[in-house]
Structure formats: C-alpha cells, structure tokens
Structure 1
Amino acid sequence: MSTPTTAPEAAPQGSGRPARRPMQTFKLLPELFGDGVMAEIFSAERTVLAWLRTEAALAAAQAEAGVISRADAEAIAAACVPETIDVERLWIEAVNVGYPILPLVRMIAAALPEGPNGRVHYGATTQDIMDTGLALQMGEALDHLAVLTGAFGDAVARLVEEHAGTVVAARTHAQQAVPTTFGAKLAVLLAEVTRQRGRLAEAARQVRVVSLFGAGGTSAAMGERSRRVRGGVAARLGLRTTDVPWHVARDGVAQYGVTCASLSATAARFAREVVDLSRTEVAEVREAGGHHRGASSTMPQKANPIGCEAIIGMSGTAGALSSGLFRAMEAGHERAAGEWQVEWYVVPLLAELAAGALATAAEVASGLRVFPGAMRANLDAEGGLIMAEAYMMRLAPALGRERAHDLVYRAAQEARARGGALADALREVAAPADLAHLGELPIPPESYIGDAREVCAAALAGWRAAVKASWADAGTNEEGDDE
C-alpha cells in the first residue's frame, strides 16, 4: 500500500483532528504475551485487504450475473490491490466521512479508466463491505484459535496420560476433600477443552456469512439479480450466503466474542489451578524454570508463575470486553447509530487476548513440573483427615450412613484438636465392635481413588476423537442458509 511522501498540511475541514493519524496505544499485556499470527490477522493491512477482496469478488459476481461487463470486473479486480490504496490518506479521510469505505472506493475508482471506474462498489453499502471483510477475519481468527486450542489440549492430554495414577488431594472449597489423581483433575479440564473445539466450529460456521443487502437491507439497488450476486460473492470468498440481512443482527458477532472469552476462561482455569498448586505451602507443581524466569527485582528467591498470571490477566480482560458486544446487539432500525463501532475495538482485541491466553497455556502445560512426592506428603497433612469419607463408607454398611458420619466426625474433631492421626482417634472413639468393620488402619489414599483412571481414559478418548473430527465444515458455503 502506498504512502505519501509528505504528510497533508491539515485534516479534512471540520474533522477537528490532526492531519496525521496518531500512533497506536502501546498495550503491554499483548505485547509481552500476545500471539503474532492473530495480530497479523487483524492488522490494518489485512483489514484493508479483506475490504479489497470483497470489492473484487463483488465485481466478479456482478459480471457473472450480467450486472456489469466482464471487462469492467477484470479491471476492477486488478485495481483492488494494496498498492492502489494510500493508507495514510485513507485513515485521514475516514475520520471525516466516519467510515473508510467511501475513500477506499474512490481510490480504487481513481486507478481505473473511464467506464469501469463507475462500476466499483455497484449497489453495495459500506457495511456490506466491512461486514463481509470482518466475516473473513473472524473466520480466520477462529481457525487459528482452533490450532491453539489443539496445542493446549494436546499438552493437557499428555499430562492426563502421564499422571492418571499420580495420587493427589482433591480440594473442595479450597480444603482437602478426598484423594484423586492429578490426571483425573486435569481430565476434567481436557473434557472442557474438547467441548470448546465444538463451540469453535459452530462459531466459525455462524460468522462466515456474506453481507450484501444494500442501503436498507432490501437489495433494491441490484434488483432481481441481487440473490445471485450475493451467492457469487460468498462462493468466491468461501463464505455462506443468506437471504436475510444482518446489518443490525449482531448475534453471530456476539457468539464469536463469547467464544473468545470462554476459551480464555478455560485457559485461566488451568492457570489458576497451577498458581494455587504452586504456592510455597503446597508446592505440588511449578511452571518451567529458566534464568530469571519469574524473578523479582528485590527478592532473589522468587520464581513467580508469570505465564499463568498473564493468562489470568488476558482472560479477565476478555471477559470484560465481551460484554460490549451485547451492547452492539442493541442496534436499532436498519443500521446502528454507534453500537456498531463497539465491534471495531472489541472484536480484534478479543481474538488477540484469546490467542495469547491459549498459546501461553499450551506453553505452561508443556513445561509444567509435577512433584508427586509433595502430593503424597500433602495427603498426610492433618493426620490423614482426607480419608474421613473412606472410613465413613467402611462403617456405613453396618452402622448406617448417619451414625457412621457422626462417629467419624467425632474422631476428626478429636484428631484436629490434638493434632493427631484420624486412625488413632477412631480407635479411641469407636466401640470395639465398630472397629471390626474398619479393617486394616490406616486406609492408604491410593486405595480410595474410585474411577479416577477411568475418568482419565474417557477424557483422553473424547479428546482423540475430537482431534480426528473434520474441521472442514466450518467454512462451507450453504446456499440460501439463513442465520
């Protein structure tokens, strides 16, 4: 894309803005932990290119339908290239117009001879071009998020398989509950990631929709050939077509945003688990090490979980931003009056945050250090109180669940008050006849993990099936498929 050798002396009259477009705001979080591929998808260059592709496809589809000549369409397509666009001037003039498509179309037309220069953007409206370009970008973004989700899921799956039998304390309300395995703990996450793949596929299908309905959504400017033209544009761009306009129906965009925020939250749930389990007093896992990784400027011993902190920060931001898309859904009549502009800021950032969160989560999971020794030692904290349910269930067949619960509860209170072992306290509070039902004491945690291994196997099978499933349907063109 060309740029002027000198900046314009002044902005367009009445804009109240400086002639030169201001520099972009520096954003530290995505700068440090963002994803380069996603940043490229929503770059200014790729955004303009998506508009140019749409204008070229429109001309080609109109020639095929007999709206304009093939020679005009070929000339227009040849002019719909980045070199035609003076990006500096494009943004300056867009401030004055309020939208970038009018100056974009004028630049394309200026590069054409008499005749085809009057056929650019024929019968379309600004939002048709921008929304179709956005559909291309959102579809590509969701495809990339699928790749990142796959890498994260694969890393989690390796941990599930490796630690299917690594016994660890399950925790409810942040307190030790019963034994489980580290693999089973992560299997729940893996099943969540598996479901997210399905949501990604559906979101990609929903957003890949052409927009070409003209000023008021009736396609009046193109008349009876509008449906054929719309289908032709969709086919050339790999989008679905529809017979119902979506200029103000932004539910598909909102679904895209919710998907981005939800993916970020899944990554954050993993990150929060790692943060909690890597606390000094727990020390069951730790992020990968490295010279000065997570270091403090003042405390030489520190190795902070900085990858997880970044994930949590990106997820929290994505969740807050996604709410803006629900405001965008309030657009009224046949064109928004400000609500649409919310998307211009929020849509790219949501993709960037989700990509950064997933990519960082995959890195953390791939390098995660797991300490089974610490896990086993923590199971013995509080004198084996984590086995209280196991004792209760051994006693329940003979005593009934309520009486068994009360007996073990009393023993647990005694053990906690004196700092002793639960097994010893049970020997003191239980009648000799009751003790006979307990069998050998203490009960080892390894014997009370239930279906933990089966949970791991099921989650792994589900993930592997999802990986094998085709992703190709996300971008198919379905003729006449209304939203």
Structure 2
Amino acid sequence: MLEWQLMQGSFSSTDMRHIWSESSTISAWIKVEQTLARTQSDAGLVPNEAVVALDGFGIGKLDQERLRQDMALVGRPIVGLVGQLREHVGEDLAKFVHFNSTTQDIMDTALAMQMKLGLATVLSDLDQLVFSLTGLIKEHPNTRMIGRTNGQHAIPMLLRTKFEVWLEELLRRREVITEAEKRGVFVQVGGPLGDLSNYSDGTGTEIKVRMAEALGLGVAEPHWQNARDGVADIVTALGALCATICKIAHNINLLSSSDIGEVCECHENGRGASSSMHHKRNQRASEFAEAVARLGRQRSEQIGELTLHQHERSGGVWVGEWLVVPEVFLLSSGALSWANRMLSDLRVDEGGMEQNLI
C-alpha cells in the first residue's frame, strides 16, 4: 500500500518517496561504482579510460528487466548491475569495474547516501513542526485550560505549558537524530571481509577516505560490514520521533472530540467528511498523524533484531534492512507531513477552554 497511487500520499511524503524509489536507489548504486572507479584512478589503480566510460552510463541505459531476472537468480542486485556496467565499458576495461569491491560495499555506501538525504528531509520537516508549535505558544501566552490526569479533570493550567512540553520533547528528538547521523552515515569500502585485504599495495585506506570525501560521508574503522549499530541508531531515533508525534496527535484528537471541543483543525469544505453522517467534521490530520506515527515506531523496533550478524556477514539479517530502513524513513516522513498539517491548521477555542474550567 505504500506504493499505491491512491494511498501513498497518506503514508509518506513526495520527497521521501523520491529518495527511496527504485530509480533513485539504482542510481545511487551506479554513482557509488563510478565514484569508486574515479577514486581508484586517482590512486593509479584504474585507467582513466575506464572512469570516462563508466561516467557515460546512467539508469536510462540499464536493462531493468534483465536486472530483475539476475536478482531473482542470484539474490543480490549488484551482480547483474556490474555485468551490465562491464558490458558498457567493453572487454578491455571490464576488469576495472567493481575493482576490489563487493556487493555490500556498494549497497551500504548507497544506503548511507540515501539516509543522509532522508535525514535532511526529516530535519527540515521537523523544523517546520517546531516553528508551528513556537507560533502557537506566542499566540496563546495566557490562555487557560483544565489540566487532566488519569483521564480526569485536575486543576487549571496554561495551554502554553502543554505546547512547551511538546516543543522541548521534539527538540530533544532532533538532537538525538543529529547525533545518530554522525554515528551511522559512513562509506563502506573493504572488499569481501571488510578489511581492505584486496588492496595489497596498502592503498585501501586512501581509497576509503577519498570515497568518503567525494560522497560527503564519514569513515568507520575498521569497517561496519557486520556492525550495524549506526544504522540501528538512526532508525531507532526516527522511531522515537514517531512516538512523540503519535502522542501529540493523539492528544490533539482527544481535545478536538465533541465531548471536549477545545481545539479543532481548520475546516474546509469536504475535509473529514463522513459518508453517512453529514454533520460530522472528522479530524483527519491528527488521525493520520497518529496512525502513521504508530506504524513508524512499531516498524523501527525491528532494527534491533537486524543487528545480530554472524561472523563477518550474515545475509539473513542484512537483507531485512533493505525493507525496514526505507519503510521507517517513509513512515516518519508521512507522520511529519500530517503533524505539520495538523498544527499549521490548529484552531484553539479559548471560550470552550474557559467553559470547561467551570
């Protein structure tokens, strides 16, 4: 359903779908192969002719049906991709394509590139959410409402206090995400065992550092082929953000219920309409923000299981990342999109809040 034309906008943002699309992912693999060859050429390992030939290959020249068939046969997409790249550069230069590399080098580096782009989108959307909450705090400096504990009326409080608690929690989530990015967005250059043993002349470390610089990524030593804590930290941070969004959206929906009626989402003709009860104005933004955030948080919990590699590589857990990581990014973007719509359209009924104080 995440790919349905009808439904995809309900679960993810357009920008995030582009980052994790099949086309963007394959293009990232190609870019990693091209950057690897260019970096190796600078170190004198690959002739410049191979670099020029590889740079002339784009996704438009890829036989995607053949790639799908190779994937079904091999169980890894890079084998088929490399085969087509080698055909493109010609027999004399073919051996310099994917030189000293392995499938996980290419896919992990591309994953890091996509996570970096995805996190930039998340932080931008989160900043908009922070902006909206800050505006609500300024707009309602002295608005009073009844506080509620354990589902019961407690004592009066300021509405701004509720907003400030949410704001500070979101800012803490932002800090955790930025810290996780520093620990999880790395280039992967190591070869079959991750230890650069294919580079007998000792140039492996130089290649890794130059690749990282070229792609704007960090360097992990000795490698992260079977150390997935960085990926897990990023996914877990997104799951925690989803938990906060879920809580905020759930509370907004409660406050907008007919029995409380202290806030509501901005009404426009047809929004939140019921097919059978025409008097209703269902609060769709808070509803979807809560639902999608719940899914993002729940999906993120699977990443811990996927860190349990055996020995130097374990496909049984690595393959699971291919699904879980993109889905958490997609669902996080959807939750943020709905939350931004919810708060930017939020209307506070100060009279209703005063009435509930009586």
**How high is the TM-score relative to the length of structure 2?**
0.96
Q: Is the 8 A contact 2:180 2:230 kept in 1?
A: yes
Is residue 113 of structure 2 the alignment partner of residue 167 of structure 1?
Answer: no
2:219 aligned partner? 241
Is residue 232 of structure 2 the alignment partner of residue 250 of structure 1?
Answer: no
How big is the shift at 1:28?
Answer: 6.5
Q: Is the 8 A contact 1:72 1:115 kept in 2?
A: no
Is residue 246 of structure 2 the alignment partner of residue 298 of structure 1?
Answer: no
1:358 aligned partner? 336
1:126 aligned partner? 103
How big is the shift at 1:33?
Answer: 4.4
CA distance in 2, matches of 1:245, 1:346: 22
Q: SS of the counterpart of 1:170? A: strand
1:461 aligned partner? none
CA deviation string 1:364-407 (max 9, x = no partner):
10110110001011011xxxxxxxxxxxxxxxxxxxxxxxxxxx
Partner letter of residue 305 of structure 1?
A: Q
1:331 to 309, 318, 332: 309
Is residue 20 of structure 2 the alignment partner of residue 46 of structure 1?
Answer: no
2:93 aligned partner? 116
2:357 aligned partner? 379
1:82 to 59, 73, 76: 59
2:195 to 218, 226, 234: 218
2:293 aligned partner? 315
1:180 to 157, 161, 164: 157
- The range that moved more, 70-79 or 327-336, is 70-79
How big is the shift at 1:165?
Answer: 0.6
How big is the shift at 1:74?
Answer: 2.6
Q: Is the 8 A contact 1:49 1:82 kept in 2?
A: yes
1:140 to 117, 120, 132: 117
Q: SS of the counterpart of 1:239? A: coil
Q: SS of the counterpart of 1:67? A: coil
CA distance in 1, matches of 2:94, 2:341: 51
After superposition, residues 15-34 of structure 1 pair within 5 angstroms as: 26=4, 30-34=8-12
Q: Is the 8 A contact 2:2 2:11 kept in 1?
A: no
CA deviation string 1:403-456 (max 9, x = no partner):
xxxxxxxxxxxxxxxxxxxxxxxxxxxxxxxxxxxxxxxxxxxxxxxxxxxxxx
CA distance in 2, matches of 1:93, 1:246: 27
Q: Is the 8 A contact 2:184 2:229 kept in 1?
A: no
Change in CA separation of 1:345 and 1:140 when aligned onto 2, cut-off 3 Å: same
CA deviation string 1:260-292 (max 9, x = no partner):
212222221211111111111110001111112
Task: Among all aligned residue pairs of Structure 1 and Structure 2, give the percentage whose two residues are the same amino acid.
Answer: 32
After superposition, residues 65-80 of structure 1 pair within 5 angstroms as: 65-79=43-57
Q: SS of the counterpart of 2:89? A: coil
How big is the shift at 1:52?
Answer: 0.8
How big is the shift at 1:68?
Answer: 1.5
How big is the shift at 1:76?
Answer: 2.3
How big is the shift at 1:203?
Answer: 2.1
Change in CA separation of 1:25 and 1:166 when aligned onto 2, cut-off 3 Å: closer
Please report the RMSD computed on the Cα atoms of aligned residues, expressed in angstroms.
1.6
Q: Is the 8 A contact 1:72 1:119 kept in 2?
A: yes
Q: Is the 8 A contact 2:2 2:8 kept in 1?
A: no
Q: SS of the counterpart of 1:311? A: helix
Is residue 126 of structure 2 the alignment partner of residue 149 of structure 1?
Answer: yes
**How high is the TM-score relative to the length of structure 1?**
0.72
CA distance in 2, matches of 1:257, 1:243: 21
Q: SS of the counterpart of 1:111? A: helix
Partner letter of residue 310 of structure 2?
A: G
How big is the shift at 1:75?
Answer: 2.3
Q: Is the 8 A contact 1:84 1:107 kept in 2?
A: no
2:262 to 251, 271, 284: 284
CA deviation string 1:139-171 (max 9, x = no partner):
100000000001111011100111121011111
Question: Which of the pair has more CA radius of gyration?
Answer: 1
Unaligned runs of 5+ in 1: 1-22, 381-483
CA distance in 2, matches of 1:351, 1:74: 34
2:34 to 42, 56, 69: 56
1:345 to 323, 332, 336: 323
Partner letter of residue 169 of structure 2?
A: E
Q: SS of the counterpart of 1:338? A: helix
- The range that moved more, 366-375 or 114-123, is 114-123
